[in-house]
Amino acid sequence: MREITIREALNEALQEEMKRDDAVILFGEDIARMQGAFKVTAGLLDMFGEDRVIDTPLAETLVVGGAVGMAMAGLRPVAELMFADFLGIAMDQLCNYAAKMKYNCGVNVPLVVRTACGARGSGMHHSQNTEGWIQNVPGLKIVMPSTAYDAKGLLKSAIRDNNPVVFFEQKTMYGLKGEVPEGGDLVIPLGKADVKRQGGDITIIATGGTVHEALAAAAELEGRGISCEVVDPRTLLPLDHETIIESVKKTHNVVIVHEAPKIGGIGAEIAAVIAEEAIYELESPVRRIGAPFTPVPFSRPLEKAYVPDRERIITTVMELLSPEGV
Amino acid sequence: MVTISREDKIGLYRQLVLNRIFEEKTIELYRLEGIPELPHSNLGEEAIGVGSCYGLNADDYVVPDLRIRPALITKGVPLNEICADMYGRLGGTTNGRATSHHMGYPSLGVVGTSGIIGGHLTISAGFGMASKIRKDKRVTLCFFGDGGSNRGDFHTSINFASLKKLPVLYIISNNQYAEGMPVESHISIKDIADRAAGYSMPGKVIDGNDVLEVYREVQDSVERARNGEGPTLIECKTFRLRPHCEAHPETRSQEELDEAWKHDPVPRMEKHLLHEKILTESEMGDIRKEYTRQVDEAFEFGKSAPYPPVEELYNSVYDGEAEWVRS
Ligand SMILES: Cc1ncc(C[n+]2csc(CCOP(=O)(O)OP(=O)(O)O)c2C)c(N)n1
Ligand SMILES: [Mg+2]
> From CA A155, how far away is CA A22, in angstroms rounded?
17
Task: Tell whether B37 is within 8 A of chain A (Cβ).
Answer: yes
Q: Are A278 and A251 in contact (CB under 8 A)?
A: no
Strand partners for B142: B63, B170
- Residue A24 CA to residue A29 CA, distance in Å, equals 17
**Domains of chain A by start residue, with CATH:** 3-179 (3.40.50.970), 194-325 (3.40.50.920)
Q: Which domain holds residue B194?
A: 6-306
φ, ψ (nearest 5 deg) of residue A233: -60, -30
Q: Is residue B90 situated within a structural domain?
A: yes
Whether residue B323 lies inside any domain: the answer is no
Would B37 be classed as within a structural domain? yes
In-domain check, residue B321:
no
DSSP assignment, residue A162? S
B125-147: buried (b, 16+ CB within 10 Å) or exposed (e) per residue? bbbbbebbeeeeebbbbbbbbbb
B315 to chain A: nearest residue by CA?
Answer: A294
**What pLDDT is attached to residue A325?**
57
The tens digit of pLDDT for each residue in B278-313 reads: 999 999 999 999 999 999 999 999 999 999 999 999
Distance CA(B272)–CA(A30), nearest Å, equals 39
**Three-class secondary structure of residue B235 per DSSP:** strand
User: What is the C-alpha separation between B55 and A178, in angstroms, rounded?
Assistant: 58
Q: Which amino acid is at B40?
A: H
Interface contact flag, A85 B116, Cβ < 8 Å = yes
ipTM score here? 0.93
Give a yes or no: residue B119 inside a domain: yes
Which whole number is the average pLDDT over A234-240?
Answer: 98
Confidence at residue A146, expressed as pLDDT on a 0 to 100 scale: 98
What's the pLDDT at A322? 83
Task: Report whether residue A80 contacts ligand 1, using a CB cutoff of 6 Å.
Answer: no
What distance in Å separates the CA atoms of residue A303 and residue A38, rounded to the nearest whole number?
Answer: 21
pLDDT tens readout for residues A202-229: 999 999 999 999 999 999 999 999 999 9
Q: How many domains is chain B partitioned into structurally? A: 1
Confidence category of residue B2, pLDDT binned at 50, 70, 90: confident
- Provide the pLDDT for residue B220: 98
Are the beta carbons of B117 and A58 separated by less than 8 Å? yes
**Helices assigned H by DSSP within chain A:** 6-20, 44-48, 60-72, 91, 101-105, 131-134, 148-160, 210-223, 241-251, 266-278, 300-306, 310-321
Structural domain includes residue B314? no
pLDDT at A273 over 90: yes
| pLDDT, tens digit, 9 for 90 and up, residues B269-287 | 999 999 999 999 999 999 9
How many contacts does A have with B, using Cβ atoms within 8 A? 117
User: Ligand 1 atom 17: the closest Cα is on which residue?
Assistant: B145
Whether A29 is in the pocket of ligand 1, judged by its Cβ within 6 Å, is: yes
Q: What is the pLDDT of residues A130-147, one digit of tens each?
A: 999 999 999 999 999 999
User: Could you tell me if B181 lies within 8 Å of chain A, comparing CB atoms?
Assistant: yes
DSSP code string of A277-291: HHGGG-SS--EEEEE
pLDDT score, position B1: 76
d(CA A197, CA A203): 10
Question: CA A184, CA A16: separation in Å to the nearest integer?
Answer: 10
The protein residue whose alpha carbon is closest to atom 25 in ligand 1 is: B116
Q: Is B44 touching ligand 1 by the criterion CB < 6 Å? A: no
The verdict on residue B325 lying in a domain is: no
In a domain, B191, yes or no: yes
Q: Which residues of A touch B117 (CB under 8 A)?
A: 58
Rounded Cα distance, B249 and A271, in Å: 46
Residue B258: exposure state from Cβ atoms within 10 A (0-12, 13-18, ≥19) = exposed
**Interface contact A34-B97, CB threshold 8 A:** no
Residue B144 CA to residue B67 CA, distance in Å, equals 8
Q: What is the CATH number of the domain that holds B182?
A: 3.40.50.970
**Residue B205 contacts by C-beta under 8 Å, 6 or more apart in sequence?**
B191, B193, B235, B237
| Entry pTM | 0.96
DSSP codes of every residue in B115-149: SSTTTHHHHHHHHHHHHHHHT----EEEEEETTGG
Contact (CB, 8 A) for B295 and B26: no
Residues of A in contact with B324 (CB under 8 A): 293
* Residue A111, pLDDT above cutoff 90: yes
Q: What percent of chain A has pLDDT over 90?
A: 98
